[in-house]
Structure 1
Amino acid sequence: MFKSLRNQLVLALCVLASVVGVVQGVSSYQLSKAGMSALLDLRLEQVASRMRGGFADSLPVIPARGSQPVRDIVITIWKDDQAAPYRSTEPSLALPRDAAAGFVTTAVDGEAWRIYTLRESSMVIQVAQRSAVRRELAQERAVSTLWPMIVLVPLLWIAVLLVVRRSLRKLNRLGAQVQEIDVSHFQQLSTSGVPIEIRPFINSINLMINRLAQSIESERKFISDAAHELRTPLTALQLQADNLQPHIAPSNQERFRELRGGITRSGGLIAQLLRLARADATLQADMLTRVDVAAVVVDTVAEVLPIAMKRGIDIGADEMAGAFVLAVEADIGIAVRNLVSNAVRYTQDGGKVDLSVQVREDMVWINVTDTGPGIAEELLPRVFDRFFRANTQIEGSGLGLSIVTAIANKYGGMASLRNRQDGPSGIVASIGFPLASSDS
């Protein structure tokens, strides 16, 4: 999870937003409490000032005991040297007359009070409020300031997630383009709309793509040139061997047949190298035509049918969906021929090879199923490697499946090979191509 840059950014920004929200909330809470306390003090001071202006006489001389609400303030007025208060809203509460002028918090009758004392020449005015009531009022007001933070922080988390996702969307598209790069597709990455900080990285990737394309092209040219150059002397060698055969002594005929077999195998390898070079070649759009896949499969079966009949192999097609692909017909034929030839080569005499053409999710799939021995599961990931042979006991170049996958990649398709799971041993080889649209 934390290997993802997006997750790291989202987590870091959300933690930062949460910390800022908590600090802001605590600060707002404390400031609100302090502000409320100052406001309540101001209220006590203002009430005392009003009492000095003649409002003291409006207070009842003997108020009803317990008639004052708990949350209200208490006013006590002292005059001259009288032992009892001149006026008081709560006579049972003995406020300390000798309290210093100004504000003081002290205990009265076992309860904390906030008292403001105003001293005049002939009068002492005291206005008091319970500290518990003040705390309750301050907390109620302070808690109300936390609700915006409680609501805004989760909204900020969502905003961070959306902004980061949107910011990295371009990188996701670039990642998808990089995944599409293969030996038949070396499209450079666009820097349009890419953040400035990412452009050096994209430019480096484009330089690497150029170097890789040049290297692959050099390899293709070498394989093609080498195959062309070798084909001529091998052809000449084959002709000389044919001319020499009548003059070979009977005792050397076996060795001569081995020599001719080696020449034939070398010729086959060179032919496969030429096919591989053509499969790797850059695709030209003007060479594409609508290819009838079913017709290609039928032609391929017709080509290998004599070999299959000679070995008693039952070869046929059990499902032939009508479908077209946009490609070079020779490429499709080579790919199908290699799959079918492999199936016939690895199937024992008297076995069976089935072909089918299916259309699934805008893809045309050609499946070749045989009753051969199958392939060890640990070797399956390597079967498309060049010159790799899963069974070295059977003659082959190790290039057939490499040509198949090269042709599939060339047209944006895919190739796969798996062991049968329906009972008999054998292989299911499949190659898929994008379905051609009806107007192409």
Structure 2
Amino acid sequence: MERIEQHAGRLWRNPAVRRLALLLTAAFAAAALFIWLFSLDSSERLKRQWLEQQAAMIGKMSAADPGLTAQWASLLAHPESLSPEDKENGKRLAEQYGLTPNLEAQFIPVLSAYSERTVIALAAGFFLLIGLLGAAILREYHRQSADIRKLAVSLEDTVKHNRPMAFRLYEEGELGLLANAVQELAIRLQETIGQLHQEKDFLKDTVADISHQLKTPLASLTIYLDLLREGNVDQASASEFLDTCRRELDRMEWLIQTLLKIARLEADALQLILNPVPVQDTVDRSVMAVKRLADNRGVHVAVIPPALSADGPVPHDPRWLAEALANLIKNAVEHTPSGGEVTIGWETTTVFLRLYVQDQGPGIDEKHLPHIFKKFYRTSRAGSGVGLGLPLAKTIVERHGGMLTASSRKEGGSRFVLTLPLHSLPDTDTI
């Protein structure tokens, strides 16, 4: 019973059903008004015809016997004075002239005319009502069919040409639900098509980047191997060539591994494992990864931990976040002069963790700030890197639900700020 009531409620929310119900109500009201007016008119006609007939009979009787005229008029004015015996005598006399209940109405002039008018009026009213209802239903059908056709054409245009839906329908009822579902489908299709184009462009750019970056070391390796194969070099040069080949191979391996990491992260093909781990452990891990580079360049890496009350565990993937921090620290070390210092610190609130890495280098020019997180982008002050460390760090941070920003300090040097949420953000698909 509850399902029936819910279905009836949903049915009544349809504008077409409400319009049809209103039309039927108006039609039945008009029919009732027509029948009432027709009854009044028929009653008046019957009354006039009956009075004319009685007047004619009185005139006829007065010519034959004036005394009966007064008695006839008195009986017409006071029918209650007639006794049952008078009614029975009248019936017997009427039967002698064929005036019985079996007499057909067509032989009674007054009733015959009334019957003809009634049949004609009812037939005309019935066909008029059916015609109006049919026209209204056809109009409603064509209206809904036109809306459905427009939705279909708009959806087809979206699928074929990746355009926004040109036709939108906002109304209640089943058609409104259908239109809303079609519009949502079109939006999802458009997003999917756009995502496919982005993935295609990403794959194309990645392949182009890999081929471009590998072209130079591969050419160097080819030259060195050709020289070694010819045997026209001494032992010292051969050893140097082999060391160079080893470095180029290591560089190529690092380049390919880094590009694959970025690609897997951007394609959501890598699942991060978020665990509540103290930030100090992750920072120490990242500092150890670049300690040798810092020592070789004569740069001191200082870690400034926060107060003990603010050094609680933060949900993150220690391995990947340590790699992101290591790339930031490596970038800071490469751009800090010998004898300088790279500072690492962080603070936590009830909502997020903010961790910063700052150096004492020349800073970042304003024109480079919008581009430093792009793959293979190198500023004029760039070190020996190829421009993949910062994009990888940014991708890792964003996969944690955070953000990474860069700025130049007034006192000199650059500052990278990493912000991570302390609580998991709700999935947009479940909202």
TM-score by length of 2: 0.47
Which one has the bigger strand percentage? 1
Which one has the bigger helix percentage? 2
TM-score by length of 1: 0.46
Larger radius of gyration: 2
